[in-house]
Structure 1
Amino acid sequence: MPSLRTAPRPRDFAARLPMQDDSAPLARCFLRAYLAGLPRGERYSDIGELLLGELFANAVRHSDAPLDRLIEVRFAVVAGQLRLEVHDAGDGWPLLRPSPGPEEECGRGLLLVDALADRWGCCPRVGGIGKFVWVLISPAPGFTDLVFGRSPRLVTV
């Protein structure tokens, strides 16, 4: 008699993508698919996709790595938080700068990361080539949490 087995839920994910701006939508698509396989994974998606896009764009625009190098993205849910990592072969580390002026068109990416992530940082890659930037994101409260008052962010009046 055949046995029914459910597929194990995804534990972590990794992919390598070309170091190009048009790879960022594919990275976000991978994140959406990863989160769709998790129970209540949609609670991470809005902030997760935004921050993954920012980190990926920074890796493309600010890396001094040769153009033929790949950018690696990794996702995992650890202790109830989504961990995103973006690896590149460049030497430069991200620097959180003061807010840009209203006329400046760039320079707000890390400010978003700093404001929306629970924690973030940068570490050298194993083997000494390049770095990775990581963020930890808590799940947003779901609809039922808000309706039934289970959210710590909910304020009742």
Structure 2
Amino acid sequence: MPDSRCPRAFAARLDSRTASTPLARLFLRAYLAGLPSGERYSDTAELLLGELFANAVQHSDAPADRLIEVRFAVVGDRLRLEVHDAGTGRPSVRTATADAECGRGLLLVNELAERWGCCPRSGGIGKFVWALIAPALTPPSAPAALAV
């Protein structure tokens, strides 16, 4: 029987600006902290959420006053991340040059997520990008103590 104290899903709307990315990751950390084995998703999930949110801010053609919605839910044993924006463009994986300072976000999503995709939002305004994340086989270890 599932533990009724575990959060089933989470959603929040944030300002469409780069400065909101840390807040989105903070919400994700808090959500995962409420799960019995949330730490098994944390490293990959935070990285991918940051990339998806940053892409929504940087590449959306929606008006600047539109909010970006983040959603998290565990489906089976997979963590599902969603980032909703009002933009019309669809994300695509690109090959970045060696000296490029951007352009690798979706490459990371493509490599680290079990699956990902993009769907139109209900109501016909915008889209959402989703990613499924498998739990790590072992939870992240605590940093080793410094040798004296």
TM-score past 0.5 threshold = yes
After TM superposition, the runs of 4+ consecutive aligned structure 1 residues lying more than 4 A away are none
TM-score (norm 2): 0.90
Q: Which runs of 5+ in 2 are unaligned?
A: 140-148
Structure-2 residue corresponding to 1:75 = 72
The aligned residue for residue 104 of structure 1 is 100
Whole-angstrom CA distance in 2 between matches of 1:67 and 1:100? 27
Q: Superposed, which structure 2 residues align to 1:41-120 within 5 Å? A: 41-97=38-94, 99-120=95-116
Superposed CA deviations along residues 89-142 of structure 1, whole A, max 9, x for unmatched, are 000000112x21111111100000000000000000000000000000000012
Alignment-derived partner of residue 151 in structure 1: none
Q: How many residues align?
A: 137
Instruction: Confirm or deny that 1:30 pairs with 2:27.
Output: yes
Deviations 1:48-92 (A, max 9, x none): 000000000000000000000000000000010000000000000
How do 1:126-137 and structure 2 match up within 5 A? 126-137=122-133
Query: Whose radius of gyration is greater, 1 or 2?
Result: 1
CA distance in 2, matches of 1:7, 1:104: 47
TM-score, length of structure 1 as denominator length: 0.85
Structure 1 residue matching 2:45: 3-state secondary structure: helix
Aligned to 1:121: 117
Identity of aligned residues (%): 72
Instruction: Name the counterpart of 2:14.
Output: 17
Which amino acid in structure 2 is aligned with residue 38 of structure 1? L
The residue identity in structure 1 corresponding to 2:84 is: H
Aligned equivalents of 2:105 and 2:138: distance in 1? 26
